Amino acid sequence: MPAASLTPNPLPPDVRMMNAVSALLLTGLLLLALAFAAKGLLRLPAFAIRAIQVEGDVTRNSAASLRANALPHLSGSFLSMDLQAGRQAFEAVPWVRSATVQRVWPNRLKVRLEEHRPAAYWETKAEGADADSDASVEKSLVNSFGEVFQANLGDVEDEDLPLLAGPAGSSAAMLRMWQLLQQQVALIGDRVERLDLSGRGSWRLSLEKGATVELGRGSESEVLARFGQFVRTITQITSRYGTPLLSADLRHQDGYAVRLRGISTTPNPANKPGVKKN
């Protein structure tokens, strides 16, 4: 008599499919239950944020202003809060340039702020505007990194900030040019009060004592060299005639032309201005 086989008979395909679907559904239900449990756990008072520690630059923002501007945009508990969203909430506060947000166990946040340091006023010139055009579409501030930012202009304490006016995206280059020009202007006891840049790349500066200087176009080094020559010689002219400078035009190939009070000049090939009476 043959021995009985111990191998079980395979289950029908439809039964195997039902078992697989049942296992999948059970796994899904367990995962869903765990997710709801975890979500409820994160909402427990034990995981609520108890305090926010602010460090870094807080010159222009008090605890009250941070509470009013940033806290309404924070959501979640200590474990569930999106730190990226928290950083954006603090960076949206006026005068804040950048922020970092960290969790500090068990229930605190540490926020480090960097504030804008204003270096100049800013006007975005309308497209196609000339260097001496007063047309602008935006008035704001430029920080020490050459970045344009929005803030209440009445909060600026420094009354000697220059005004930069140029095309959108040129603020960093204009701040650098102002700094370099100012170093040369200081040699004649004056200050660059305003610097304009046209859409075509032509520079124009206005001095604190009232004179305007057309610098023309060219690379940074070309413009600075042209202006350096002007600075080295202009005091000889104003001293000779005993009258202040009203304007200068450095766009001539062989020199520059100036207008003094009651006197104007035309350039000559010797790189020195020729003088004529108005």
SS (H, E, C) 115-151: ECCEEEEEEEECCCCCCCCCCEEEEEEEECCCCEECC
Element of type H or E holding 262: none
Domain(s) labelled CATH 3.10.20.310 in the chain stretch across 47-115
Residue 255 identity: G
Residue among 219, 218, 221, 207 nearest 258 (CA) = 207
Residue 14 identity: D
pLDDT recorded at residue 89 = 94
Q: Tell me the residue length of the chain.
A: 278
Question: Which residue, chain included where needed, has tokens 């046209």?
Answer: 198
The rounded distance, in Å, linking the Cα atoms of 77 and 69 is: 19
Mean pLDDT of the chain: 83
pLDDT in tens, 71-83: 888 888 878 889 9
Give the CA count within 13 Å in the CB-facing half-sphere of 90: 28
Q: What is the DSSP letter of 45?
A: G
The Cα angle at residue 210 between residues 154 and 253, in degrees rounded to 5: 120
Does residue 39 register a pLDDT over 70? no
Does residue 266 register a pLDDT over 70? no
**Contact between 111 and 90 (Cβ < 8 Å):** yes
Which numeric CATH code is attached to 118-277? Answer: 3.40.50.11690
The rounded distance, in Å, linking the Cα atoms of 111 and 133 is: 43
pLDDT recorded at residue 233 = 94
The rounded distance, in Å, linking the Cα atoms of 96 and 60 is: 9
Does residue 183 register a pLDDT over 50? yes
Quote the distance between the C-alpha of residue 5 and its chain's center: 82
pLDDT recorded at residue 125 = 87
pTM reported for the whole predicted model: 0.76
Pick from 94-98, 187-191, 269-273: least confident: 269-273
Task: For the domain made up of 47-115, give the CATH fold.
Answer: Ubiquitin-like (UB roll) (3.10.20)
The pLDDT confidence band at residue 148, using thresholds 50, 70 and 90, is: very high
pLDDT recorded at residue 193 = 97
3-state secondary structure of 64: helix
Q: What is the mean pLDDT of residues 98-115?
A: 92
The alpha helices in the chain, defined as continuous H runs, are 13-42, 63-69, 83-91, 171-185, 220-241
Does residue 142 register a pLDDT over 70? yes
Pick from 3-17, 78-92, 191-205: least confident: 3-17
The pLDDT confidence band at residue 63, using thresholds 50, 70 and 90, is: confident
pLDDT recorded at residue 173 = 98
Domain(s) labelled CATH 3.40.50.11690 in the chain stretch across 118-277
Contacts of 244 (CB under 8 A, 6+ apart): 209, 210, 211, 238, 260, 261
